[in-house]
């Protein structure tokens, strides 16, 4: 590591401890909120984006139901009421745990406590060259890129005179049968069957072929077996062609190879594995097989107790099993870490983190979902209404509930999708902004 110029030094007269939080996802944001306006700490919240993203609804942007701004809130806006929180827009490039420094392009930032909550990106199982042909769905740019590809494919199908190309345009392959993959496949089927059906003159969007490829034995494998089965039936009802225990062995510009069968498809979407942020490589601590940092029961690093790792970036165990990479886990971890920091500053011992599982849900098209909490299981319309209610309530914090609710009412009641915009990224003569 090169020596870091410290531009963001601590003020000697300031007796407060500085907590630097990297990443304003569910984990980082909840930690920052918990520390907000607490005497004794100042907080620097760093993210390379200026917004916090409600990732579970990204597939709704990709399928033109919601706009980017409906599921994203400016971080500064969220932090405005906490005078002791400073938001720093930038990419963390270096970590110097020995000298307690975080490196950004603007220089080093000194910390007393460090919370790493950088999340995860897609993993192509050692085939990064597949990414251009099969984008994932973790960022807003990816969501609008997918929206562009999906809508353009229908346009191309309408225009082309070549029946082979038309079929490839109307074939969509989703790789991975977890919540993102299942929800995307369902939403795609919904669009083709209900939204676009009267839009075209030469093609019938109902001819759309949606293939969901899952290497495992069932879709939504984190749910109980009967709910997986119900989700499978719901997908089949929507006309989705689900291929279980099949493996994608090749992805290129013309389509995918599944086992020994070739599927010509202009649009391929990756919803399979994830891997944590590259920052873990700089920690010098033990990582699990997926690359997540192995943390102590209080979510700190054994080698550096003032450094915490949470969310998708961490491997935390409970009852002998690693916790899943879900928003509620990250959220609760952020809160727990912040509380432990405050306890320690008050002279109290830290407490181990305990995840409280409120259950899980996934929606498959309109009026279909699966949900389970404890022993209670819901399916069909009831599960979907529960999904809708919980998501609207959750989005209350986003201050976008009015807009999202009205979009949804509109969309579900009239089968319209307002965000059906094809916006190519060709306005490029203005130069590269760099990733900030």
Annotated catalytic sites, by residue? 183
Residues 6 or more apart whose CB falls under 8 angstroms from that of 424 comprise 148
User: Which residue, 125 or 414, is less far from a copy of itself as judged by CB?
Assistant: 414
Minimum distance of a copy of itself from residue 77's CB (angstroms): 6
CB of residue 90 to a copy of itself, shortest distance in Å: 7
Q: Could you give the C-alpha distances from 323 to 54, 99, 212, 306, 353, in angstroms and in order?
A: 20, 31, 26, 22, 11
Q: Choose between 355 and 412: whose C-beta lies nearer to a copy of itself.
A: 412
For the residues of 266-292, what is the DSSP string, one character each?
SEEEE-S-EEE-GGGGGS-S-B-TTSP
Question: Do residues 118 and 23 touch, judged by C-beta distance below 8 A?
Answer: yes
Q: Is 241 exposed, middle or buried (0-12, 13-18, 19+ CB in 10 A)?
A: middle
Distance (Å, rounded) from C-alpha 331 to C-alpha 56? 13
* 170 vs 231 by CB, closer to a copy of itself: 170
C-alpha span between 72 and 54 (Å, rounded): 6
C-beta closer to a copy of itself: residue 300 or 411:
411
> If we measure between CA atoms, which residue out of 45, 16, 40 comes closest to residue 115?
45
Kindly tell me which of 2 and 426 has the beta carbon lying closer to a copy of itself: 426
- Measured CA distances, 400 to 34, 87, 173, 326, 386 (Å): 22, 21, 32, 22, 19
- Least distance in Å: CB of 50 to a copy of itself? 4
In the bound complex, what is the minimum distance in angstroms from residue 374's beta carbon to a copy of itself?
A: 35
Measured distance CA(353)–CA(333) in Å, rounded: 7
Q: Measured from the CB of residue 420, what is the shortest distance to a copy of itself in angstroms?
A: 4
Smallest distance, a copy of itself to C-beta of residue 49, A? 7
CB nearer to a copy of itself: pick between 117 and 419: 419
Quote the CA–CA distance of 34 and 266 in Å, as a whole number. 46
Shortest separation between residue 69's beta carbon and a copy of itself, angstroms: 4
Residue 287: count of CB within 10 angstroms of its CB:
14
Please state at what angle helix 225-237 crosses helix 179-190, rounded to 10 degrees. 20
**Which two tokens mark 146?**
């997918």
Closest to a copy of itself by CB, 2 or 429: 429
Q: Chain-centre distance of CA 374, in angstroms? A: 24
**Angle CA(178)–CA(184)–CA(187) in degrees, nearest 5?**
135
Pick from 240, 262, 232, 148: nearest CA to 192: 240
């Amino acid at each position: 590591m090169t020596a870091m110029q410290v531009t963001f030094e601590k003020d000697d007269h300031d007796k407060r401890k500085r907590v630097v939080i990297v990443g304003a996802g569910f984990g980082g944001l909840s930690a920052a909120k918990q520390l907000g306006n607490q005497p004794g700490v100042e907080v620097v919240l760093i993210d390379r984006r200026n917004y916090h993203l409600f990732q579970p609804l990204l597939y709704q942007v990709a399928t033109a139901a919601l706009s980017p701004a409906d599921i994203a809130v400016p971080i500064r806006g969220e932090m405005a009421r906490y005078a002791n929180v400073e938001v720093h827009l930038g990419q963390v490039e270096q970590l110097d745990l020995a000298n307690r420094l975080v490196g950004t392009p603007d220089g080093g930032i000194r910390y007393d406590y460090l919370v790493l909550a950088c999340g995860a990106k897609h993993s192509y199982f050692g085939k990064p060259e597949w990414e251009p042909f099969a984008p994932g769905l973790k960022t807003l740019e990816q969501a609008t890129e997918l929206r562009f590809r999906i809508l353009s494919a229908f346009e191309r199908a309408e225009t082309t005179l070549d029946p082979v190309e038309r079929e490839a345009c109307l074939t969509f392959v989703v790789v991975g049968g977890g919540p993102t993959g299942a929800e995307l496949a369902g939403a795609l089927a919904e669009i083709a069957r209900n939204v676009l059906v009267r839009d075209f003159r030469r093609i019938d969007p109902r001819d759309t072929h949606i293939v969901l490829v899952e290497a495992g034995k069932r879709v939504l494998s984190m749910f109980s077996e009967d709910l997986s089965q119900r989700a499978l039936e719901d997908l089949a009802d929507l006309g989705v062609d689900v291929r279980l225990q099949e493996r994608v062995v090749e992805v290129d510009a013309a389509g995918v190879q599944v086992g020994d069968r070739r599927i010509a498809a202009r649009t391929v979407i990756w919803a399979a594995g994830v891997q944590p942020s590259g920052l873990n490589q700089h920690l010098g601590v033990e990582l699990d097989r997926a690359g997540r940092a192995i943390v102590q029961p209080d979510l700190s690093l054994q080698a550096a107790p003032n450094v915490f790792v949470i969310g998708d970036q961490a491997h935390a165990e409970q009852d002998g099993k690693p916790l899943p990479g879900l928003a509620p886990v990250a959220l609760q971890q952020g809160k727990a870490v912040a509380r432990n920091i405050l306890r320690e500053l008050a002279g109290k011992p830290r407490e181990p983190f305990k995840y409280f599982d409120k259950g899980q849900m996934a929606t498959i098209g309109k009026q279909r979902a699966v949900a389970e909490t404890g022993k209670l299981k819901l399916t069909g319309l009831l599960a979907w209404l529960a999904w809708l209610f919980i998501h609207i309530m959750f989005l209350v914090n986003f201050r976008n509930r009015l807009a999202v609710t009205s979009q949804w009412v509109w969309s579900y009641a009239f089968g319209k999708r307002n965000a059906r915009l094809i916006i190519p990224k060709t306005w490029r003569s203005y130069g590269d902004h760099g990733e900030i």
